Structure 1
Amino acid sequence: MKTFKFILLASLFVSCGAIVNYDYEKSTDFTQYKTYDYFSDMKTGLSELDNKRLIRAIDAKLETMGLTRSENPDFLIDIQSQDVMNRNNSTVGVGAGGGGRGGFGGVSVGIPLGGNQNTREIIIDFVDKSQNEKLFWQAVSESSYKQNASPEKREATFAKLVEKIFDGYPPKK
């Protein structure tokens, strides 16, 4: 029983964090990029307020990494996102059975754990402006969120997410 409780708690903690995948062009010299800006026609899929929160979080993180936002940037950032509803198929089974002379019987009931979970997928692309807008780095994150969270909670969520996303920039070769 203790093992079951441990596994259940461990899976809950693992499922709460963001999943981030990275990809990049291997031949890229990341040290050449010092300035950035955003595409002017981004369709982020976020509300205007969440869009501002995310961009503020990215700006703050990139500033700590020594990058500067500029009107004549070395690279451009594109942000896309979409909401994804994941069906939760996790259940706990409860069963009872019995047997007697030549006969066996049983009953099993599946009890759902939790409900459907909303996740947000955010894709951040870094595109080299001088090389025909060639994609050189990309992060794809998926994390859970609450649609009715307070503005402060949303801001904190974006700050944590951006920290995790930019753990992979520049890539460690």
Structure 2
Amino acid sequence: MKTIKNLLMLFTAVIALAGCSSLRTASDYDKNVDLNGYKTYNFYQKGIDRVRLNNLDKRRLIAAVEAQMNAKGFTKSDKPDLLVNLFVVAREKTDVYGPGYYGGWGWGGGWGWRSPYWGGGGTYVNQYIEGTIIIDFLDPNKKILFWHGQGSGFNLDNFTKREERLNTGVKEILAQYPPNAIAAK
């Protein structure tokens, strides 16, 4: 019985960790804007100054965006066609994992699932700060937002492989630009 209980707790922990690691991305754009006209970029400095990250992570985020923009064929310029604006939104998350295999199931009477020998296990609580990274493309001449991308699900409390996770997240967000490339796949 103890082996089964340990296996179920391990399975629950694996499922919980798998659920926490997934990044949810989305994007939107102005369908009236010709995206082919944009070849150069730079960062919207007022937006960068307001990003609520420590300086290490802010530099990592900017470097990740630069790497992806360069990979897409954009060139960084002092007089850019588009400005990249960044936001980071954080919120406190609490995940509660309980012994889902105990109580309510089985035949009762002290046997089967409700057996007192089965045990109830503990309740596990995981509290962390979840971040959403928002990347906006602005046209400095028309003064409009023409593309918006975001990725939610970054665990901002976890410092393990943080730079790698930021790079992967930015890559997944910017994979949605240009939108026509997504539709062609």
Q: Structure 1 vs Structure 2: percent identity of aligned residues?
A: 30
Match of 1:117 in 2: 128
Shift of 1:110: 8.1
Q: Deviations over 1:143-169 (max 9, x none)?
A: 23253516xx22211111111111101
Count of equivalent residues: 165
1:51-90 equivalences in 2 (<5 Å): 51-90=58-97
Q: Which amino acid aligns with 2:60?
A: R
Match of 2:35 in 1: 30
Q: Which amino acid aligns with 1:68?
A: T
Deviates more, 1:108-117 or 1:66-75: 108-117
Shift of 1:45: 1.1
Shift of 1:113: 3.9
Name the structure where strand makes up a greater proportion of residues.
Answer: 1
What SS is found at the alignment partner of 2:73? coil
Which segments of 5 or more consecutive residues in structure 2 lack a partner in the other structure? none
Q: TM-score, normalised by structure 1?
A: 0.79
Match of 1:163 in 2: 171
Q: Which amino acid aligns with 2:99?
A: V
Q: TM-score, normalised by structure 2?
A: 0.75
Q: Which amino acid aligns with 1:162?
A: V
RMSD: 3.1
Match of 2:53 in 1: 46
